[in-house]
Amino acid sequence: MKIIQKLLTFAVAIVLGAGVAFTFSACDNNTQDGKKNIICTIYPSYDWTMQILGEQKDNYNVNFITNGTELHSFNPTPANIIEISTADIFIYVGGESDEWADKILKNATNKNMIVINLLEILGDNAKQEEVKEGMEPVEDEGEEEPEYDEHVWLSLKNAKIFVNEIATQLGKLDETNKDVFLQNATLYNQELENLDVQYTNEVNSASTKTILVADRFPFRYLVEDYNLNYYAAFVGCSSETRATPQTITFLANKIDELTLKNIIILENSNSEIANTVKNSTQAKNQQILVLNSIQSTTLKDNITYLQLMTNNLQVLKQALN
């Protein structure tokens, strides 16, 4: 992962260093309609922003640049780099997967840009990446700094914090509509709170408190919100696609030990590992469920963050019963 990020940083430097003329041209193109530009790297922050803007959304250009590409494998294009460099507001996760953004921001054309770093907003509540018992080991790259779990959007509690921050920063950009943004954020946060309560009620009434994910595990913020236990094949940011026999055996044994009836995978994942785990259990009759990590959502999907998290609640309810 570190090698890839270094290459991306180098590529960003080339674009920003060699494309000065293009930068000014792109800046003119971005502002010619008189609208402010907001760039988001993940779908949840895009949708939160649109909910906060409400009826004012047509007065802004809001772009979701990854648009179906997982953050871990996203490579910014020269056009993306220019978009970010000239943006009025840039919202990103701030983890290892988007370190390329820091180089762009350092050389940004718009020196008055408002930058919203989600991990920085969480501060001490950001969680370090966890390698749990039974997981495939993570390759040691000799890194001294802790790696934080980047999947902060999979917590409704985090989402409420982010919505408040985005509303506040939008108010700084557009003071005329400051109160509108804050009111929209309050109303939207009530919807998030209602769904949060539903999650709590479902977990409290569930017959088991453990999920097993035969895949990467981006759900740490979610499970810790509701005091759930979990077992998984890989950490959330892993690029591995094959599990060792030891991991398969461990997960199968956990299913037998806890008499789990379901195995979870991510959207767009094949079920090869899950089926291997299933066929290694005693019962061999577990159902394979899909929990959405909201990393491959596109604008064409025409679905909201709330709808996606509501769908996840239904899957979680089934997984825990």
Whether 140 maps to a domain, the answer reads no
**178 and 43 in one domain?**
yes
> Are residues 214 and 244 in contact, defined by beta-carbon separation less than 8 angstroms?
no
pTM: 0.90
User: How far is Cα 35 from Cα 60, in angstroms, rounded to an integer?
Assistant: 5
Counting every residue, how long is the chain?
321
Q: Kindly tell me if the per-residue pLDDT of 18 is higher than 60.
A: no
Q: Are 271 and 265 in contact (CB under 8 A)?
A: yes
- Answer yes or no: do 242 and 276 share one domain: yes
CB-count exposure of residue 58 (10 Å: 0-12, 13-18, 19+): exposed
pLDDT tens digits along 140-165: 555 567 789 999 999 999 999 999 99
Q: Using 50, 70 and 90 to split pLDDT, how confident is the model at 235?
A: confident
Given this model, what pLDDT does residue 242 score?
A: 86
Are 8 and 157 contained in the same domain? yes
Residue 208 has a CB neighbour count (10 Å cut-off) of 15
Q: Is there a domain that residue 141 lies in?
A: no
Q: What pLDDT, in 10s, does the model give residues 19-75?
A: 433 343 333 444 557 899 999 999 999 999 999 999 999 999 999 999 988 888 899
**Residue 311: count of CB within 10 angstroms of its CB:** 14
Residues 9 and 153 in one domain: yes
Q: Distance between alpha carbon 256 and the CA centroid of its chain, in Å? A: 32
Residue 23 falls inside a structural domain: yes
Specify if 207 maps to a domain: yes
Query: Residue 8: is its pLDDT beyond 70?
Result: no
- Residue range 119-128, pLDDT digits in tens: 999 999 999 9
Residue 63 falls inside a structural domain: yes
List strands edge to edge, sheet with 210-217: 229-235, 210-217, 262-266, 287-291
Whole-angstrom distance, CA of residue 149 vs CA of residue 119: 9
Same domain, yes or no: 71 and 217: no
Rounded-to-integer distance, Cα 237 and Cα 151, Å: 9
Q: Are residues 68 and 181 in the same domain?
A: yes
User: What would the DSSP string read from start to end of 201-221?
Assistant: HHHHT-S--EEEEEEEE--HH
pLDDT number for residue 309: 98
Does one domain contain both 66 and 184? yes
Residues 253 and 128 in one domain: no
User: Which residue, 39, 56, 44, 100, is CA-closest to 74?
Assistant: 100
- Host domain of residue 224: 201-319
Query: Do 179 and 236 reside in the same domain of the chain?
Result: no
Supply the CATH number for residue 226's domain. 3.40.50.1980
Q: Which DSSP letter does residue 301 get?
A: G
Please check whether residues 168 and 278 belong to one and the same domain.
Answer: no
Residue at 142 is within a domain: no
Same domain, 190 and 206: no
Number of domains in the chain: 2
Whole-number Å distance between alpha carbons of 86 and 23: 8
Domain assignment of residue 221, yes or no: yes
> For residue 10, is pLDDT > 60?
no
Residue type, 118: L
Cα 79 from Cα 96, distance rounded (Å): 22
Backbone angles phi, psi at 137, to 5 degrees: -65, 150
Exposed/middle/buried for residue 222 (C-beta within 10 Å: 0-12, 13-18, 19+): buried
Collapsing DSSP to helix, strand or coil, 280 comes out as coil
Whether residues 52 and 99 share a domain: the answer is yes
Residue 12 · residue 100 · CB < 8 Å: yes
Task: For 160-199, write each residue's pLDDT tens digit.
Answer: 999 999 999 999 999 999 999 999 999 999 999 999 999 9
**Predicted confidence (pLDDT) per residue in 295-316, tens digit:** 999 999 999 999 999 999 999 9
